[in-house]
Amino acid sequence: MNQSTRTRIASEVVPAPEAGCRWAGIIVALPEPLAAEITAYRRSFGDALAAQIPAHITLITTTPIGDWAETVQHVRQVAASQRPFRVSVRGTGSFRPVSEVVYLQLGSGFDECVQLHELLQSGPLARDLVFDFHPHITIAHDISAAGLDEAARTLADFEATFPVTGMGLYVHNDSGAWLLKEELKFGGTSENQGTSRYEAAPNRLGKAPA
């Protein structure tokens, strides 16, 4: 990262979080129409969080905020040092019985997400995690066992690929909402990233949900 990039990162100010916003999170938002497709599937499985949480890959979750300016500078510096990469998704996995979650599995892009997480979860965002970081896309969370089984079965053959060119810095408030504070583009360039592609597996009705 050159000196002009460092100067810009240090000089641009993101307003401090509102009172009650004590935690930070960083995600990769999925592109459309893939995001809408996954949200529709998640809703069809009876997951109430589908309406509140856009489809995404978590890079940092619920990390206490110390010095806000230092946090923003840290996240910007990591973003500026990154190059876009591609993610491929195929089939489902589950964290059961430890956690009632069914998710879409990452193929290519898995290692890049892990490396990005390790860079981000340092400095002002450093903390010990209960579980090892495992990048994924949640499709069902805290619903009935039958609903989780249905999610795992319905999307077992789901496939998608898409480029990752940036990430979003969020804060979490006391009411439970995640608020986007800044979208950060990766500083490098990448050729042949192409456009997003996905192949939706049919659901229990024999067609992709609307």
Q: Residue 132: how many CA atoms within 13 Å on its side-chain side?
A: 4
For residues 49 and 22, what is the distance between their CA atoms, to the nearest angstrom? 21
Gap between the Cα atoms of 45 and 16, Å rounded:
37
The pLDDT of residue 49: 85
d(C-alpha 137, C-alpha 111), whole Å: 15
State the pLDDT at residue 121: 97
Cβ neighbours for 111, distance < 8 A, ≥ 6 positions apart: none
User: Which two structure tokens, joined as six digits, stand for 184?
Assistant: 């950060």
Residue 143: its H or E element: none
In this structure, what DSSP letter does residue 156 have?
T
CB 170 within 8 A of CB 25: yes
- pLDDT greater than 50 at residue 32: yes
Which tens digit of pLDDT belongs to each residue from 96-140?
988 899 999 999 999 999 999 999 999 999 998 888 899 999 999
The helix or strand, by DSSP H or E, that contains position 199, with its residue range, turns out to be strand 197-199
- Inform me whether the pLDDT recorded for 3 exceeds 80: no
Q: Say if residue 41 is exposed, middle or buried (CB neighbours under 10 Å; 0-12, 13-18, 19+).
A: buried
How far is residue 51 from each of residues 42, 99, 105, 113, 163, measured CA to CA in Å? 9, 21, 22, 25, 24
Residue pair 198/38 in contact by the 8 Å Cβ criterion: no
Neighbours of 30 (CB within 10 A): 25
pLDDT band at 16 (very low <50, low <70, confident <90, very high): low
pTM here?
0.81
Q: Is the pLDDT higher at 158 or at 201?
A: 158
Name the nearest CA neighbour of 151 among 163, 139, 159.
Answer: 139
Which residue carries 């619903």 as its tokens? 143
Domains of the chain: 21-186 (3.90.1140.10)
